[in-house]
């Protein structure tokens, strides 16, 4: 299906691509948003409409920088909060405060739950490295480094571009292509000779906008057609379906 000899590097998203942590993020988003939405509804005399951990998660927050996800989801409900600053105490008063509450919940979850790596992803990752293909992890998560360590796969990448590094370097997050392009530059490869592997719509759109040689979508949520429409060249349900470069 894919001729890996045509590419010099493969850039992997983290949550939902390498590790089974997207479910943790979805659950923590739901807790953070539902607490806020319940308080908002009571204060404004409106019915409480909970966050949908599948539909709302995939449509508005999956794969995006945390504060962008907060702003986009609240916008879908016609709610506007002041931006605040990243130093805001976790809470409900600003976009940043609400995003920080979600991050607090993720930290608690990661400290108490095992981090599982998808076997098919791990096999492909190791096979690529065995034949000299460069690898990178490109994630919007500020918890990326901790997740890689917890999963024991931190040494399988030539570079890491995550939410914390992007913020330090002033690099725009997904769906802008900038984090993927920055990772490719760090690897010293042309985007046209690199593959982007994503399960999120925002990430697939970023890969397509960046002019990468191949955008590979992973449909773990039964949405292959949606990923294709967003720009994925190839869509699979798990990387274990693919033959590696050593096949």
Note every long-range contact of 176-181, with CB atoms under 8 Å and residues 24 or more positions apart, other chains counting: 176/206, 176/209, 177/206, 177/207, 177/209, 177/210, 177/211, 179/138, 179/140, 179/206, 180/11, 180/138, 180/206, 180/207, 180/210, 180/212, 181/210
pLDDT of residue 23: 86
* CA gap 32, 106 in Å, rounded: 10
4-21+115-241: CATH, from 3.40.50.1000, 3.30.70.890, 3.40.50.2300, 3.20.20.240: 3.40.50.1000
pLDDT of residue 93: 94
- Mean pLDDT computed over every residue of the chain: 94
pTM of the model: 0.84
- Catalytic option among 8, 13, 68, 162: 13
Q: Which residue's structure tokens are 């940043």?
A: 96
pLDDT of residue 247: 62
- Catalytic option among 3, 8, 15, 190: 15
Residue 113: pLDDT band (50, 70, 90) is confident
C-alpha separations of 222 from 25, 62, 94 in Å: 18, 15, 34
Q: Is 56 a catalytic residue?
A: no
Listed by start position, the domains of the chain span 4-21+115-241, 23-112
Q: What is the pLDDT of residues 147-204, one digit of tens each?
A: 999 899 999 999 999 999 999 999 999 999 999 999 999 999 999 999 999 999 999 9
**77 in Cβ contact with 52 (< 8 Å):** no
pLDDT of residue 222: 66
Q: Is 15 a catalytic residue?
A: yes
* CA gap 135, 223 in Å, rounded: 26
């Amino acid at each position: 299906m894919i001729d890996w000899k045509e590419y010099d590097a493969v850039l992997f998203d983290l949550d939902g691509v390498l590790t089974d942590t997207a479910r943790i993020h979805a659950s923590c988003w739901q807790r953070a948003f539902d607490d806020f939405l319940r308080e908002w509804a009571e204060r404004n005399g409106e019915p409480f409409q909970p966050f949908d951990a599948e539909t709302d998660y995939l449509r508005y927050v999956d794969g995006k920088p945390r504060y962008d996800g907060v702003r986009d989801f609240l916008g879908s409900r016609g709610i506007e909060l002041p931006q605040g600053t990243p130093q805001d105490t976790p809470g409900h008063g600003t976009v940043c405060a609400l995003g920080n509450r979600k991050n607090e919940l993720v930290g608690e979850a990661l400290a108490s739950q095992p981090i599982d790596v998808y076997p098919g992803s791990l096999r492909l990752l190791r096979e690529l490295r065995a034949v000299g293909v460069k690898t990178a992890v490109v994630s919007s998560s500020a918890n990326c480094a901790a997740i890689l360590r917890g999963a024991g796969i931190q040494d399988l990448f030539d570079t890491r571009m995550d939410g914390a590094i992007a913020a330090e370097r002033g690099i725009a997050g997904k769906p802008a292509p900038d984090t993927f392009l920055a990772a490719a530059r760090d690897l010293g490869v042309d985007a046209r000779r690199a593959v982007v592997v994503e399960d999120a719509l925002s990430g697939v759109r970023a890969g397509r906008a960046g002019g990468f040689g191949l955008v590979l979508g992973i449909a773990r949520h039964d949405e292959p057609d949606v990923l294709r429409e967003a720009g994925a060249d190839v869509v699979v349900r798990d990387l274990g379906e693919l033959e590696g470069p050593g096949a």
